[in-house]
Structure 1
Amino acid sequence: MQTQTDQGVFVPDDKQDYGDDPKAVRNTEHYKNEYVRGFVDKWDELIDWDARAKSEGQFFIDVLKARDKKSVLDVSTGTGFHSVQLLKAGFDVTSADGSAEMLAKAFQNAMDEGLMLKTVHADWRWLNKDVHGKFDAIICLGNSFTHLFEEKDRRRALAEFYAALKHDGVLILDQRNYDTILDDGFSTKHKYYYCGDRVSAEPEYVDDSLARFKYSFPDGSDYHLNMFPIRKDYVRGLLRDVGFQKLHTYGDFMEEGEEKAPDFFVHVAEKTYDG
């Protein structure tokens, strides 16, 4: 099987294509070509569902239940980890992703758990064209937001998220700690997010507008993702600009400051104040 790239070139389903200069690939559209079947099939080796479930615990479930949320739109479904966890916890979940390969894998993973996902193939920038109705909550996890390279795309996506939420809705969005990566270099133990102990995920190249990560698997295969290194305060500013009234940021599921150098930040953005 082959896939057609943005440049009209056909490549094998398990091979990524970054052209002659991988570092020059800095556009939002390219994510569609990054999640090739070979990479998607190995993604769960990186996550390790059991280990990740233990490391996260009830964090996202507790955040949602504390705000009495029931309907959840997972806009970065990936292979389905969070959609499945929330379904098991009793939430009404709709699972969206821009990658058809990821959605297919997520659907199968849920079937293996005896669950049925409601899946929607959707681009965040036109989310409400494909996803209908209003939700209590939206989750955008797995560092997915950093696939957007243009500020106009980031603002458009957040505006679409905001519009898809009910008047008192909440958005939970995470990101890598790019502040530390940009300022001090990369150092992580993948304590919480990427728990597969035989897989490495490290930046191969970083500058102010590109973080190129390399994912190496036990069978010797390597895959890459080109992402935009967004800073924490920049994201918080965007969330406020779009209209979110209340923001709280965690570092690796802990209150900010408790973890000195978190791998990830988790932003909880609410449309309205408590009162």
Structure 2
Amino acid sequence: MAMNRRAQDYGADPLAVRDTNHYQSEYIHGFVEKWDELIDWDARARSEGDFFIRQLKEQGARKVLDVATGTGFHSLQLLRAGFEVTSADGSPTMLAKAFDNARRRDFILRTIHADWRWLNRDVHDFYDAVICLGNSFTHLHNDNDRRKALAEFYATLRHDGILILDQRNYDAILDHRIEPTHNYYYCGDNVRATPEYVDETLARFRYEFPGEHVFHLNMFPLRKGYVRQLLREVGFQKVTTYGDFQETYHDTEPDFFIHVAEKSYVAEGEEE
């Protein structure tokens, strides 16, 4: 299991590893233990403010499925705000860390180990909202995997539910308009998260921690328009995209995009 691995293994050619299933080998115990140095919870909370809580409340959501729980940041934020939260992740190592983080803050997480592509095999309930945050959707390297995961998210939502999904601004990285920063999601001091290699089908990021600890993630560089198209093709009726938590972002290049996709049916002729 990934929990017992002591080092990441990308084989002889790391750039050739473009496989969705490889995430299990990427989130080894040592990397997960360092993750909360990368994601400074207090700084992240200040950066996001009440954006996600406000979005969920405006949609009348109460019951939320966090499908990319990671070490538990958003699950804990939503629990504190009074939402009913179920926390899922494909990495058992991450879930164990999230559960421990919550317990130390006097919360008990309801956790489910689930692969998004077969989410409803393990999740047997319906939700007002699904959140997929932390640039997590980029771990799916195959178009069919992405469509299958979105279909599973869609299926677990109630008829008027919403999906909130975020991603890095890969358009700007691929088109050489910006160097990515970590102002919003990667807020830890003395930690660097930089793209080591980027092409149209791979973004390999290098994560450097104090003490010469170095880890990598191989991700798919999702373009904004492509993600919006997928959401519509899966069946979401309205998709609103924000840049760094702002709906208007044309004057600057945001680090992240946040897509809010609504399932509620829009009749022909109605405004999107």
Displacement of 1:185 after TM fit? 5.5
Are the equivalent residues in 1 in contact too, given 2:206–2:214 (CA < 8 A)? yes
CA change 1:185–1:31 in 2 (3 A) is farther
Are the equivalent residues in 1 in contact too, given 2:173–2:180 (CA < 8 A)? no
Instruction: Map 1:105-116 onto structure 2 (within 5 A).
Output: 105-116=97-108
- Residue-by-residue CA offset, 1:225-248 (whole Å, 9 max, x unaligned): 000001000000000000000110
CA change 1:109–1:263 in 2 (3 A) is same
User: Does residue 1:61 correspond to 2:53, yes or no?
Assistant: yes
- Could you tell me how far apart the structure 1 residues matched to 2:28 and 2:129 are? 29
Displacement of 1:273 after TM fit? 5.1
Identify the residue that residue 194 of structure 2 maps to in structure 1: 202
Identify the residue that residue 235 of structure 1 maps to in structure 2: 227
- Residue-by-residue CA offset, 1:167-214 (whole Å, 9 max, x unaligned): 000000000000000001551332211111210001100011000000
CA change 1:176–1:220 in 2 (3 A) is same
User: Does residue 1:136 correspond to 2:128, yes or no?
Assistant: yes
Instruction: Map 1:153-172 onto structure 2 (within 5 A).
Output: 153-172=145-164
Q: How many residues align?
A: 267
Matched residue type, 2:208: S
Displacement of 1:259 after TM fit? 5.7
Identify the residue that residue 256 of structure 2 maps to in structure 1: 264
- Could you tell me how far apart the structure 2 residues matched to 1:132 and 1:97 are? 15
User: Does residue 1:190 correspond to 2:186, yes or no?
Assistant: no
- Could you tell me how far apart the structure 2 residues matched to 1:259 and 1:164 are? 37
SS at match of 1:138: strand
- Could you tell me how far apart the structure 1 residues matched to 2:43 and 2:27 are? 23
SS at match of 2:196: strand
- Could you tell me how far apart the structure 2 residues matched to 1:98 and 1:23 are? 23
SS at match of 2:60: coil
Unmatched 5+ stretches in structure 2: none
User: Does residue 1:127 correspond to 2:127, yes or no?
Assistant: no
Displacement of 1:258 after TM fit? 5.1
CA change 1:149–1:189 in 2 (3 A) is closer
CA change 1:117–1:259 in 2 (3 A) is farther
SS at match of 1:206: strand
Misfit runs of 4+, over 6 Å: none
- Residue-by-residue CA offset, 1:113-157 (whole Å, 9 max, x unaligned): 100000000000000000111000000001100100110000000
The counterpart of 2:173, out of the listed 167, 181, 197, is 181
- Could you tell me how far apart the structure 1 residues matched to 2:56 and 2:17 are? 37
- Could you tell me how far apart the structure 1 residues matched to 2:178 and 2:243 are? 16
Could you say what the CA RMSD is over the residues aligned between the two structures, in angstroms?
1.4
Are the equivalent residues in 1 in contact too, given 2:178–2:253 (CA < 8 A)? no
- Could you tell me how far apart the structure 2 residues matched to 1:166 and 1:204 are? 40
Identify the residue that residue 75 of structure 2 maps to in structure 1: 83
Identify the residue that residue 249 of structure 1 maps to in structure 2: 241
- Could you tell me how far apart the structure 2 residues matched to 1:250 and 1:15 are? 36
Unmatched 5+ stretches in structure 1: 5-10
- Could you tell me how far apart the structure 1 residues matched to 2:115 and 2:263 are? 22
